[in-house]
Amino acid sequence: MDLQPLSVGDSERTILFFVLLGIFAYQGFRRGLMAETAKLVLIGIGYALNQPTLAGNVAIRIINTAYAVVHGMLGGARAAGGVNAAVQTQLIKPENSSIALFLMFLIVIGLGYAVSARLQRANPLAGMVVGLLNGFLLSYLFLPALPDQVPVNLPGSSDAVSGLTQSPAGLGLTGVQVLLAPFYLLYQQVDTWIVPITIVLIVLIAMRNIKS
């Protein structure tokens, strides 16, 4: 059987966009204004960090300088020796900068969620509006990054099945795409390191949910 990657059309993407807005608005309503504002600020910081020209390059310079200082204090600079020491003590090398910035982006957004979970719940309606804005921003940032095709060849997929994407049944496919998209995006950035990262995440989440 000829395996064809399944594609996802613009209509599904638009529906997904509105579904996400709805989810974020509901979440904003539940969490309140302060939590959503904190999230909005950190999404903004994360976005700025992910853009080299805005704050990304500065962040990398700060991290590399701090690393070089620590490395020097530990005697590593002398061991590395001479003129090339600065280059060798770069924690984030230029070829890895886009991966590092993307990870920083994700970490800051995660931080936004962690901070917002600890803030007082008040002003649900205003929270809903800011939540809507957060949903819009995150959709704006992440939806264009979604792969146009489901990142795996599903067994049994064919041209006939691909035709489903033009029908409401394609929404199910979009669901699969959304579930796999974070892994796909992460895989594009960190390659096989996605495996240890996923293992750590599963173990940490499970440990956090064990009641003493």
Partner 1 sequence: MGPLEILWACIIVFFVFFALVRGYAQELGVTTLIFAALFIITQFGEKYVPAILVLIVQRTGSAALSPRTQEHILSIFFSLFFIIVVFASYAGETFTLKGRSKTSGPAALVLNILVGLLNGYLVAGTLWYFQDVYEYPVVDLHLLQLPLSDFAETAANFLPPYVVPPLFWAGMVMLLLLFRVKD
Shortest reach from residue 151's CB to partner 1, in Å: 12
Nearer to partner 1, 122 or 179 (CB): 179
**Nearer to partner 1 (CB atom), residue 27 or residue 50:** 27
Beta carbon nearer to partner 1, 65 or 198 = 198
Least distance from partner 1 to the Cβ atom of residue 195, Å: 4
Q: What is the DSSP secondary-structure string of 9-26?
A: -HHHHHHHHHHHHHHHHH
Q: How far is the CB of 1 from partner 1 (least distance, A)?
A: 12
Indicate the SS3 state at residue 97.
Answer: helix
184 vs 189: CA distance, rounded Å: 9
Shortest distance, position 26 Cβ to partner 1, whole Å: 16
Spatial distance between the Cα atoms of 98 and 107, rounded to a whole number of angstroms: 14
Give the number of other CB atoms < 10 A from CB of residue 22: 12
Asked if residue 146 lies in contact with residue 13, where contact means CB atoms within 8 angstroms, the answer is yes
Residue 96: both structure tokens together: 């890895």
List residues near partner 1 by CB under 8 A.
Answer: 153, 192-193, 195-196, 199-200, 202-203, 205-207, 209-212
Nearest distance in Å: CB 33, partner 1: 26
**Nearer residue to partner 1 within complex by CB, 58 or 179:** 179
Query: SS3 for 6?
Result: coil
- Between 85 and 176, name the residue whose CB sits nearer to partner 1: 176
CA-CA distance, 55 to 70, in Å (whole number)? 23
Residues ≥6 apart with Cβ < 8 Å to 76 = 89
